[in-house]
Amino acid sequence: MINVGVLGATGAVGQRFVQLLADHPWFNLQTLTASERSAGKPYGKVVNWRLDAPYPDNVSDIVVTPTTVESLKDCDLVFSALPPEVAASLETEIADAGIGVCSNARSHRMDADVPLVIPEVNPDHLGLIDVQRDRGREGFIVTNPNCSTIVLALALAPLRSFEFHDVRVATMQAISGGGFAGVSAMDIYDNVVPYIGSEEEKMESETVKIMGSFDGSEVTPASFGVSASCHRVPVIDGHTIAVWVDVKEPVAEVKKVYANFKSPFSNLPLQPEKAVELLDPPDRPQPRLDRNRGRGMTVSVGRIREGLRFVALGHNTIRGAAGASVLNAELICSRKYL
């Protein structure tokens, strides 16, 4: 068992980490951190559990610590659900102190020597851990992408066998992406908000890093362009995206590559049977009906039409956040980086 901690364990993503790690077969969850406001009290007393999954009683007595390097001395690996402004310097300090960091925060995603990984799409980019170690870092930072970007990159991955240059995407993003305090009811009820700060820029830059090529020392971004328009909609969980991509092959060929898309792994505990699932009914995918496929780790794709046009959907706080980080950590362990 590998000793792990969750940074920012009381928040929306932190709670998802706790849910996924409380009974994990490889990870022993022993440290939970939060802000000074919550530190010093048992997790069961400070957490306001708001997930649609049962609260795991076995973590109740863990005393929440402040988020400092000293409080992580017994951890081999930590999962970060910290606000980005806190994550920026703290994750660096933690990795430099010899601890592995699997981060969900945006702060280091575009750093040249930090892998931005989706296991089924670019597992080879984990080689950037060696680049970090070659410059003397004892631990590492590995990041997972932005939640909408994960849905897009997984939906594009099967299309890599075709040529394309131009990807356009419009998102319909759930309110849980903004955190517990993120979007007020008055803003979102009976409404659509056509702005999510820097989300479009992240989708455009992160997608080409993820789908770029790694030569053992650096990542060269993919050569296609991405143009994104992002919108907040009154859905609790599940980001839906409409995608246009200039693939010329017939729809029947495209459906075949989706149906045949296989994960390159079979031994990771959180890996779903299908990373991408093709749905036939003309009115799917839908967030309420499809976000929990594969325990929230499957991206559903449907409405494939010539052009090429399609719709994809993924659970934003599981596949798009905490689940993405945990799957990355499982891959890191299976590759013996820990």
The contact set with ligand PHD (CB under 6 A) reads 106, 146-147, 173, 177-178, 196, 199, 202, 316
Find which of ligand NDP, ligand PHD, none residue 199 binds, CB within 5 to 8 Å per kind. Answer: ligand PHD
Chain centre to alpha carbon of residue 280? 26
Alpha-carbon distances of 25 from 2, 74, 120, 267, 270, rounded to whole Å: 10, 19, 21, 12, 10
| Nearer to ligand PHD among residue 147 and residue 257 (C-beta) | 147
Find which of ligand NDP, ligand PHD, none residue 86 binds, CB within 5 to 8 Å per kind. Answer: ligand NDP
Using CB under 6 A as the binding rule, whether residue 173 contacts ligand NDP is answered as no
| Nearer to ligand PHD among residue 35 and residue 71 (C-beta) | 35
Stretch in the footprint of ligand NDP (CB under 6 A) among 82-90, 131-139, 257-265, 274-282:
82-90
- Residue among 66, 58, 59, 60 at smallest CA distance from 40: 66
| Nearer to ligand PHD among residue 177 and residue 287 (C-beta) | 177
- Min dist. Cβ of residue 171 to ligand NDP (A): 12
Find which of ligand PHD, ligand NDP, none residue 35 binds, CB within 5 to 8 Å per kind. Answer: ligand NDP
Using CB under 6 A as the binding rule, whether residue 104 contacts ligand NDP is answered as yes
Q: Is 147 a catalytic residue?
A: yes
Interatomic CA distance for residues 280 and 304, integer angstroms: 9
- Min dist. Cβ of residue 238 to ligand PHD (A): 11
Using CB under 6 A as the binding rule, whether residue 67 contacts ligand NDP is answered as yes
Environment class of 190 (CB within 10 Å of its CB; exposed 0-12, middle 13-18, buried 19+): exposed
Torsion of CA 268, 118, 65, 4, to 10 degrees: 30
Q: Which distant-in-sequence residues (6+ apart) come within 8 Å of 266 by Cβ?
A: none
Task: Identify the three-state secondary structure at position 67.
Answer: coil
Find which of ligand NDP, ligand PHD, none residue 14 binds, CB within 5 to 8 Å per kind. Answer: ligand NDP
Using CB under 6 A as the binding rule, whether residue 6 contacts ligand NDP is answered as no
| C-alpha distance across the termini of the chain, in Å | 11
Environment class of 50 (CB within 10 Å of its CB; exposed 0-12, middle 13-18, buried 19+): exposed
217, two tokens: 């020392």
Query: 119-148: which residues touch ligand NDP (CB under 6 A)?
Result: 144, 146-147
Q: What stretches of the chain adopt beta strand conformation (E)? A: 2-7, 27-34, 65-66, 77-80, 100-103, 140-143, 166-172, 213-214, 219-220, 225-229, 239-245, 276-278, 299-305, 309-314
| Nearer to ligand PHD among residue 237 and residue 290 (C-beta) | 237
83, two tokens: 């606000």
Three-point CA angle 80, 24, 15, nearest 5°: 40
Contact characters 312-331, ligand NDP, x per CB under 6 A: ----x---xx----------
Using CB under 6 A as the binding rule, whether residue 13 contacts ligand NDP is answered as yes
Using CB under 6 A as the binding rule, whether residue 98 contacts ligand NDP is answered as no
Find which of ligand PHD, ligand NDP, none residue 298 binds, CB within 5 to 8 Å per kind. Answer: none
| Annotated catalytic residue within 108, 125, 239, 315 | 239
- Min dist. Cβ of residue 258 to ligand NDP (A): 23
- What are the residue numbers of the active site? 147, 239
- Residues at the interface with ligand NDP (CB under 6 A): 8-14, 34-35, 37-38, 67, 81-84, 86-87, 104-106, 144, 146-147, 177, 179-180, 316, 320-321
